[in-house]
Copies of this chain bind each other. A is one copy, B any other.
Amino acid sequence: MDATNPGKAPKALVRSRFQVFEDEAEPEKAGERLAALRERLRELELTALIVPRADAFQNEYLPPSEERLAWLTGFTGSAGLLIVFAEEGQRAALFVDGRYTLQAARQVDGEAVEVVPIAEHRPAAWLAERLEAGHVAGVNPWLLTHEAARRYRDALEKAGAGLRFVLPDPVEEIWQDRPAPPDAEVFAHPLRYAGRSVAEKLEEVRATLAEKQVDAALITATDSASWLFNIRSRAIVHNPVVLGMALVPTDAQVRVRLFVRGGGFAPDARAQVEELADILPFEALEEVLASRELAGRRVLVDARSAAARLFALLEQAGAEVVEGEDPCLWPKACKNKVEQAGMRAAHVRDGVAVSRFLAWLEEAAACGEVDEIGAVAKLEELRIDTAEKMGEPLFDISFDTISGAGPNGAIVHYRVTTASNRVLKPGELYLVDSGGQYMDGTTDITRTVFIGPPEMQPAAEQKRHFTLVLKGMIALSRARFPAGTQGRNLDVLARQYLWAAGLDYDHGTGHGVGYFLNVHEGPQSISLRGAAALKPGMITSNEPGYYLEDHYGIRIENLILCTQAEAPEGGEREMLGFETITLAPIDRRLIDVSMLDETELAWLNDYHAQVLRTLLEPLRGLGVEAALCWLKRACMPLGEGRDANVA
């Protein structure tokens, strides 16, 4: 065993290097803060204020300075929207999705805030119903997309009410001790990782703009700007994006401008960008637009990702706004050969770390000596150690680890805190969903394991549920499909066995994954609604699950790379397929082999053989013999004793 310290978190452990285990929210202050806000709304003659959980860049993860909802209400989930009414005595409404209804109800003060499930009430319609003719709702136009603003405006105007863009943000006006905005330095993401130069990327983007017959594009998504200029930063936790937007003229003779919020540039990053673009502070964007230099010009903006404020500014500037897809969206999603190689290398490193963790866990947790926070800390420690020893350090984790023992595993987006922390008990299942950020890739892996000594066996029902999930995961891994196939066409492959058993899971099967960027990246997704076509080079997660409330959660997640599939004998058409790039054993104890057919069993045994083959040498190199022996056992073929004369 390479690690011997027990994994139970000391009471004082409220954060590891990359993760915080204590909620810093102050729900008890919601009453007074909301009262102050209400007063300000009355001064502004607003009936209500819409407060989206967002920043000007529409990032999913926010810097503390943008956590308006947490500050106002104490709710710390990653998605939500608050509506505050000016009138005294009316509770604010916090809209959250199914992942967060329980958590929100626990976190907020019910006297001040009402939790509304967003699946049952769309906020725009809900608000419209509560407003009368002449009423006006306000919103900070930086905090919602143009498309969302249009939706609110339409709904409110139908009710005879109106939507007003309000700046300065009334929440900011009353927010004393607001944390400082991020101030992280921008650094270069070198070509040996990025695979394509800024010049090449700009050329491709400009070709798209020429095709769309526009004069320029305003690129507002931070992952797009970061990708385009091969730059990164630590402005936002776990997501190494730069807080920047770019104005890219179609004409290559005209300089590109990059507007960046906070932080300076490392010299190499500055040099790399300035070869092709001018760097300006973010505030200069408003000035440029106000200068009317874009008057009469056709400017491409993505209404699904750009803030409403930008549309208003472009309109004032006299520009002709052309709504359309961010031109970086598809080239960023289709990883180039260098990125693909980087992703594979990062997954070897990550697989070594996860295998070390699983080896440690099997031993240490068997008698109830590990809790959820201890497991997170250990996994992080092993990711750091492994990465460092293998020569490519861990930059960050790619999201807050979901570490759910027993019933906590059934909470799909569970985030452990010192309050919720639970011991991993023998006989229970433990779900761990985690990932790393490396300069050469982003990982995201979920494993569910049975906790208990070797002589203890999982219940038949646990195995049945686990195997149903596994069968779906394998079916999607093995899929072949022609170009043009969309995520929503394939999702059923992962669900079919659960559906046949009258079971299901309430989340998508797969999200796109960025390259040393956001762990959630569009346009592709594999879900019942995923409309984007899957293309070679795209990386997506493959993570079916099953959740038995109050008992356990099961999820098995690998990342899969879309590739040209090898043509089978007699094949007439080109097909795409997936290469699984995540490398870590799937708990053999939880598999009911009798439920697998021969192709599924072959896939599983091939996968484990590949895991072992790939991780063997690195583990030897690290000198972690116990983990190595564990891995050999964990990757042993299953079903060997099965009837051999089956076709």
**Residues in chain A within 8 A of chain B (CB atoms):** 461, 464, 478-482, 484-486, 488-493, 496, 499-504, 528, 567-568, 570-575, 594, 597, 643, 645-647
Contact indicator B499/A570 (Cβ below 8 Å): no
A570 and B491 in contact, given A486-B528, A528-B485 (Cβ under 8 angstroms): no
Instruction: Give the 10 A-B residue pairs with the shortest CB-CB distance, closest first.
Output: A502-B571, A480-B499, A480-B500, A502-B568, A489-B492, A594-B647, A489-B528, A502-B567, A481-B499, A504-B573
A491, A496, A502, A570: most-surrounded residue (chain B CB, <10 A): A502
Closest chain B residue, CB of each to CB of A593: B647
**This chain: how many copies in the complex?**
2
Q: Once the chains are docked, how many angstroms separate the CA of A528 from the CA of B504?
A: 22
Q: Once the chains are docked, how many angstroms separate the CA of A491 from the CA of B492?
A: 9
Q: Once the chains are docked, how many angstroms separate the CA of A646 from the CA of B491?
A: 29
Shortest Cβ gap from A212 to chain B (Å): 14
Q: Once the chains are docked, how many angstroms separate the CA of A296 from the CA of B537?
A: 55
Contact indicator B489/A504 (Cβ below 8 Å): no
Q: What would be 26 A-B contacts, judged by CB atoms less than 8 Å apart? A: A479-B492, A480-B499, A480-B500, A480-B502, A482-B499, A484-B528, A485-B528, A486-B488, A486-B528, A488-B488, A489-B492, A489-B528, A490-B492, A499-B575, A500-B568, A501-B568, A501-B571, A502-B568, A502-B572, A502-B574, A502-B575, A503-B572, A594-B647, A597-B597, A643-B643, A643-B646
Give 9 A-B pairs besides A486-B488, A643-B646 with Cβ atoms closer than 8 angstroms: A478-B500, A479-B496, A479-B499, A482-B499, A488-B488, A502-B567, A502-B568, A594-B647, A646-B646
Shortest Cβ gap from A462 to chain B (Å): 12
Q: Once the chains are docked, how many angstroms separate the CA of A501 from the CA of B569?
A: 8
Shortest Cβ gap from A489 to chain B (Å): 5
Among candidates B479, B492, B496, B502, residue contacting A570 with C-beta atoms closer than 8 Å: B502
Residues of B within 8 A of A643 (CB): 643, 645-646
Residues of B within 8 A of A567 (CB): 502
Q: Once the chains are docked, how many angstroms separate the CA of A570 from the CA of B459?
A: 14
Closest chain B residue, CB of each to CB of A492: B489
Q: Once the chains are docked, how many angstroms separate the CA of A645 from the CA of B502?
A: 27
Closest chain B residue, CB of each to CB of A484: B528
Residues of B within 8 A of A496 (CB): 479-480, 493
Residues of B within 8 A of A486 (CB): 488, 528
Q: Once the chains are docked, how many angstroms separate the CA of A500 from the CA of B503?
A: 27
Shortest Cβ gap from A32 to chain B (Å): 43
Q: Once the chains are docked, how many angstroms separate the CA of A503 from the CA of B565?
A: 13
